[in-house]
Amino acid sequence: MKHKIVIAVTALNAIDSPGPGVAVIRAIRECKDFDVRIIGLSYESLEPGLYMHDLVDKTYQIPYPTAGTDALLGRLQYIHEMENLELIIPNFDAELFNFIKLRDTLKKMGIATFMPDLDQFEARDKMKLLDFGKKHGFDVPEDKIIHEFRELAKIEEDFDFPLVVKGKFYDAIIVNTMEQAEKAYYKILSKWGLPIIVQEFIKGTEINIAALGDGDGNAISVIPMRKLYITDKGKAWAGITLDDETYIELARKFIKVTKWRGGCELEVMLSNDGKPYIMEVNPRFPAWIYLTAAAGQNQPASLVKMALGQKVEPFTEYEVGKIFVRYAWDLITDIHEFQKISGNGEL
Amino acid sequence: MRVRKNIATSDEGFLFNPTTGDSFSTNAIGAEIILLMKKDIPTSEVVDTICEKYDVDKALFERDLEEFTLQLKGNSILE
């Protein structure tokens, strides 16, 4: 019987604004090169992935990122005692800082990770993206970081409308007037706090690129995708793989200059004059990551291999015109399961 | 009037631009015209072929073809 690699995965919230966890697990399970036991790490009792027992073998709740690294480590030590974890794949922006901080400790415990360094992680931060772009020669929209309301009032001195008002972790609202900007400011402030980013609006076609770096500057996989159907939250409900060397080169360059380790998603706006602007870099796999496996470059499975010390050669081909169409499904469970995860923090 | 090399076409008139992700459907005659265009023949030959095959006024067809061509260019199907 083959050894089952024990892999813990976060972001099981396969909801209308989905976390990538379920897609990551699906891609990993599809790889025939290894067997796995998947441990879900959840924050809330109603994350759908918890109840998908054909994908997730066992789930443990973990403390929210705001509880800090000590609380997270304490919980991971317990889970490790129970499960003998070999690899953790965190998939939320907000939790990555804590996991990166714990990387060496986890390594000593025998738990591998495959994440960017803190420097890499912070360089692509929304608030530093403009400097990052200027330093490495990427087109990035002009922006201004707003720390208090009165700074917003002065924004018209530097920018013309429309603009994009963005939260430090999530959310982006396009505004056409100062009044709309003020409303967007308060809406995002109440949800994500300060600072808030005001960014130049680039008109064009939105392209997303899922990429995987080996940490030495090599892009193991790059898959560009165009959203075909977008939800009111701006999430892709359907998308298609594209064939355009511009995007592949862009992602390769990003991975080369950052020596990115792990998965990432470049959100790119191809302006009407043909310039690919990097709008954001998400430091983890996107929720549509299963499409990479479907198109022939299984990024999550390749990450597992690299995290466990195997050499993975860069992919050279993928299927263009591969489409994903997301769907909603009413998964049925019962109160006993809900009680287990709510009461005991395990399922 | 050349169809871009990477454009995928089907006999049924389905067109897919793999660079942009856009897809289009044409009617049967549109599909036939695009298949002719893919042979890199002069426009006059496309006109002659269609006019020989179908009972259509040449001047009228040329106007329609021009309009169709503009649409194809606008959608980056033609170079």
Is B2 part of any domain? no
**Averaged pLDDT score across all residues of chain A:** 94
Q: Confirm whether B1 is domain-assigned.
A: no
- Over 90: is that where the pLDDT of B11 sits? no
Mean pLDDT score, A197-218: 94
- Tell me: pLDDT of A2 over 80: no
Helix axes A93-101, A68-83, angle to 10 degrees: 80
**Are A243 and B8 in contact (CB < 8 Å)?**
no
**Confidence category of residue A126, pLDDT binned at 50, 70, 90:** confident
Higher pLDDT: A210 or A172? It is: A210
pLDDT score of A127: 84
Distance from CA of B3 to the nearest CA of A (A): 17
Average pLDDT, stretch B40-51?
A: 93
pLDDT at residue A274 in the model:
87
Whether residue B36 lies inside any domain: the answer is yes
* Interval B17-25 mean pLDDT: 92
pTM of the model: 0.90
Cα–Cα distance, A6 to A84 (Å, whole number): 7
Which chain B residues contact residue A242 at CB under 8 A?
A: 18-21
Please check whether residue B58 lies inside any domain of the structure.
yes
Say whether pLDDT at A10 is over 90: yes
Q: Model ipTM?
A: 0.77
Nearest CA in chain A to B6: A243
Q: Do A320 and B20 touch (CB under 8 A)?
A: no
pLDDT at A171: 83
Tell me: pLDDT of B44 over 70: yes
Tally of structural domains, chain B: 1
Question: Once rounded to an integer, what is the mean pLDDT over residues A155-171?
Answer: 88
Percentage of chain A exceeding pLDDT 90: 83
Q: Which domain holds residue B48?
A: 8-74
- A228/B contact by beta carbon, under 8 A: yes
Q: Tell me the average pLDDT across A76-101.
A: 96
Cβ contacts of A243 on chain B, cutoff 8 Å? 6, 18-19
B21 has a chain A CB within 8 A of its CB: yes
pLDDT of the residue at A272: 86
pLDDT of residue A156: 87
pLDDT of amino acid A1: 62
Domains of chain A (ranges, CATH numbers): 4-113+330-344 (3.40.50.20), 142-200 (3.30.1490.20)
The confidence score (pLDDT) of residue B37 equals: 92
